[in-house]
Amino acid sequence: MSDFRPQAGNWQIVGDVTMNPNVDVHEAHTSAAPETKKKSKRSKDETATQHVQAVSFQPGKGILLNINDETKKDNLVSAFQHGDIELEFEVMLPKGSNSGIYLQGRYEVQLYDSWGVKDPKFSDIGGIYRNWETAKDKIYMGKAPLSNPAKAPGLWQKIRIAFRAPRFNAAGQKITNARFVSVELNGVLIHDNVEVPLPTGGPIENNEKPMGPLLIQGDHGPVAIRNMQYRLMKEVAFSLSDITYNTYYGSFKTISDFTTLKPAASGSIPQLTCEVLANEDAYGVSYKGNLNVPEDGTYQFQLAHTGGGRLVINNQELTNLQRPDASSRDWVSITLKAGTYPFEIYNYKEASWMPPRLGLTVKSETTYPQPLHAYNSFPPDDEPVSPIYVDAGSQPKLLRAFLDFKGDRKQRLTHTIGVADPSGTHYVYDMKSGNLVCVWHGSFVDATPMWHDRGDGSFQPRGAAQYLFNNQPLAFLASQNDPFPVITIDALVKNDGHRGKGFELDELTNRPVFKYSYEGLDVEDKIYPDDQNRIITHEVNVKNRGTKTGLYYKLGEGSDITQLADGSYAVDNKQYYIKVTGGQPVVRDVNGKKELIVAVDTTVKYSIIW
């Protein structure tokens, strides 16, 4: 707690937190205008009791927890102050709870239990809150998030914020508004370059300054935070000077092929640019000049180019890619003190399908990327691609594609089918293993990687995808402790074990019913939105069961699995819940992971809640 100012004791450091997703804290003190706030009809004891019922914790370290009551309800204020900042943290809220985090103590990003909200407002999680001023020139109405990728109460949710502080001139007059460059919730961009012209409601001070503390509300409701990290950012003005160039034309395989030749043209230029070239291909060019470094630091440089390229700073070679048909955008590091250093850049290309491009960019852990080249020499996104989105219509829509499991190309699944539901709750099913692998809310998929140009066959979920687990979920096991089999290409070719049989569409709903066989069993999978379309229910029906014993179904896996008071299970450090209808699931350890499995007679039914 030494990173924060003293507080009344409602904030503490704990080792683990569990929040009952079924207990609504019903905080009366919400972020509302002072004159319209509803007074709580609950006593102090009733409020405290409700919070205790909703939140339990274990002693230890790593989690910042607020449990407030009528006497202990301080905001938590950081001991440090910040201007520009990049901030990320994970937050957990019980049902109905409300908090907020204020950048510079003045600009609030709302933290609220917004699970299942279809049309989010500024008062929902991730919203930039409004203020309650009445003078016309002081009113700010807030900004709703672009979408609502919120998780269910009691689950960890990740927030990333890039914030630029307001700017002031020498006379102390504001010349640039505060700005949220980006806000991401659970991996989804919910704000993009949003200016905030005034403090939002409930600031630490109702003014604007170059610096201010982080503030987390402690008087509205219980909230837990972990893995909070920040980077204090600043703008540093690098520059290049005394730039000269030489150009050469011909078919060059290495840099030494042209540097010994007489240049076709030479000169001085005010900015680094490849526009000194007379030809767009079969060329070589060299640049020399000075790099002006304003302060000591370890800096990363990116020489971005088509063709081959070499970068030398202060006689130290940082990059050297000698191939005329290559390209590069690699970052390399060098430690420099404040001062002026010589630089050399070499670039050559013989690849007519690529335009001439050359850019030099510098950044550090605490400074923003700064281009040191002319805009046209390496324009950002100079070959833009219109995204190809697929959305659900009035009926379910099915799309076969590859899926990079957890966004990892190395874990590409090649037999998957995405199912878009009109409700806005979607999933991906792996037909090779007969497994539900991914669920999400919101828009359906981005099919650009699959359909643009030659494509690579894959699509990407457009919401906050909750990945489950990979591989076969149904198997006969010699004992309850045996691992589930892994489906191999060999097994597929030989039709051993699991064999997919496609799907049929349900006549009433037009939703797919997936079918496969496994060691003489015929299996049908029904997957559909449930509970106001906030969850996915999965029904597995086994036919031709026979008398062979030891049939199990894997429901989930993760680093840990914990059973909650209502009988549901929190999976993978509270990333999602599993609720089983019937049967007695067992949590077991296999290969360093926890697995939730259940013995199968003829039917397995469970729900994924996230």
Kindly compute the dihedral angle of the four CA atoms of residues 216, 219, 220, 225, in this order, to the nearest 10 degrees: 40
pLDDT tier at 495, thresholds 50, 70, 90: low
Does 220 or 32 have the greater pLDDT score? Answer: 220
Residue 104 structure tokens: 């510079």
pLDDT at 368: 94
pLDDT in tens, 567-592: 999 999 999 999 999 889 999 999 99
* Residues 203/31, Cβ–Cβ less than 8 Å: no
- Cα separation, 98 vs 111, in Å, equals 6
Q: Is residue 383 part of a domain?
A: no
Q: What is the CATH number of the domain that holds 203?
A: 2.60.120.560
Judgement on whether residues 401 and 520 belong to the same structural domain of the protein:
yes
Judgement on whether residues 216 and 245 belong to the same structural domain of the protein:
no
pLDDT at 50: 63
Least confident among 22-26, 35-39, 557-561: 35-39
pLDDT tier at 320, thresholds 50, 70, 90: very high
Q: Print the domain residue range for 573.
A: 393-609
Residue 574 is classified by DSSP as T
Judgement on whether residues 574 and 428 belong to the same structural domain of the protein:
yes
pLDDT at 355: 96
pLDDT tier at 201, thresholds 50, 70, 90: very high
Altogether, the residues listed in the chain come to a count of 610
**pLDDT average, residue stretch 540-556:** 95
Share the mean pLDDT of the chain.
Answer: 94
Q: Is residue 4 part of a domain?
A: no
pLDDT at 580: 97
Give just the sign of the alpha carbon dihedral 149, 154, 160, 163.
positive
Judgement on whether residues 134 and 280 belong to the same structural domain of the protein:
no
pLDDT at 383: 83
Q: Is residue 384 part of a domain?
A: no
Residue 121 structure tokens: 């407002």
- Cα separation, 342 vs 64, in Å, equals 49
pLDDT at 276: 98
- Helix, coil or strand: residue 175: strand
Q: What is the CATH number of the domain that holds 415?
A: 2.70.98
> Taking Cα atoms as reference points, which of 362, 359, 308 lies closest to residue 335?
362
pLDDT tier at 36, thresholds 50, 70, 90: very low
pLDDT in tens, 526-540: 999 999 999 999 999
Q: Is residue 5 part of a domain?
A: no
Q: What are the CA-CA distances from residue 363 to residues 236, 301, 314, 369 (Å)?
A: 9, 7, 17, 4
* Residues 560/572, Cβ–Cβ less than 8 Å: yes
* Residues 34/132, Cβ–Cβ less than 8 Å: yes
- Cα separation, 104 vs 178, in Å, equals 10
- Cα separation, 587 vs 596, in Å, equals 5
Q: What is the CATH number of the domain that holds 314?
A: 2.60.120.260
Kindly compute the dihedral angle of the four CA atoms of residues 274, 279, 280, 282, in this order, to the nearest 10 degrees: -100
pLDDT at 47: 60
Judgement on whether residues 103 and 157 belong to the same structural domain of the protein:
yes
Domain's final residue, options 214, 232, 250: 232
Give just the sign of the alpha carbon dihedral 80, 85, 86, 87.
positive
pLDDT at 28: 43
Q: Is residue 1 part of a domain?
A: no
Which residues is 66 bridged to in the sheet? 11, 223
Judgement on whether residues 477 and 599 belong to the same structural domain of the protein:
yes
pLDDT at 328: 96
> Taking Cα atoms as reference points, which of 215, 223, 216, 218 lies closest to residue 69?
218
Domain's final residue, options 199, 232, 265: 232
**pLDDT more than 90, % of the chain:** 91
Judgement on whether residues 222 and 271 belong to the same structural domain of the protein:
no
Q: What are the CA-CA distances from residue 490 to residues 137, 469, 493, 497 (Å)?
A: 71, 21, 5, 11
Tell whether the model's pLDDT for residue 493 goes beyond 60: no
Judgement on whether residues 465 and 547 belong to the same structural domain of the protein:
yes
Q: Is residue 385 part of a domain?
A: no
Residue 568 CA to its chain's centroid (Å): 26
pLDDT at 382: 83
Judgement on whether residues 441 and 563 belong to the same structural domain of the protein:
yes
Judgement on whether residues 159 and 19 belong to the same structural domain of the protein:
yes
**pLDDT average, residue stretch 371-379:** 97
pLDDT in tens, 52-102: 789 999 999 999 999 999 999 999 999 999 999 999 999 999 999 999 999
pLDDT in tens, 146-155: 999 999 999 9
Judgement on whether residues 79 and 174 belong to the same structural domain of the protein:
yes
Q: Is residue 382 part of a domain?
A: no
Q: Is residue 470 part of a domain?
A: yes
pLDDT at 226: 98
Number of domains in the chain: 3
pLDDT at 121: 98
Least confident among 34-43, 169-178, 437-446: 34-43
Least confident among 24-28, 44-48, 383-387, 565-569: 44-48
Q: What are the CA-CA distances from residue 209 to residues 130, 165, 317, 466 (Å)?
A: 19, 8, 43, 40
Domain's final residue, options 178, 207, 232: 232
Judgement on whether residues 438 and 341 belong to the same structural domain of the protein:
no
**pLDDT average, residue stretch 498-520:** 95
Sequence-separated contacts (24+) of 490-496 with Cβ below 8 Å: 492/432
Tell whether the model's pLDDT for residue 29 goes beyond 80: no
Which residues is 585 bridged to in the sheet? none
- Cα separation, 41 vs 144, in Å, equals 30
pLDDT in tens, 478-487: 998 999 998 7
pTM: predicted TM-score of the whole model, two decimal places: 0.90
Residue 256 structure tokens: 């030494």
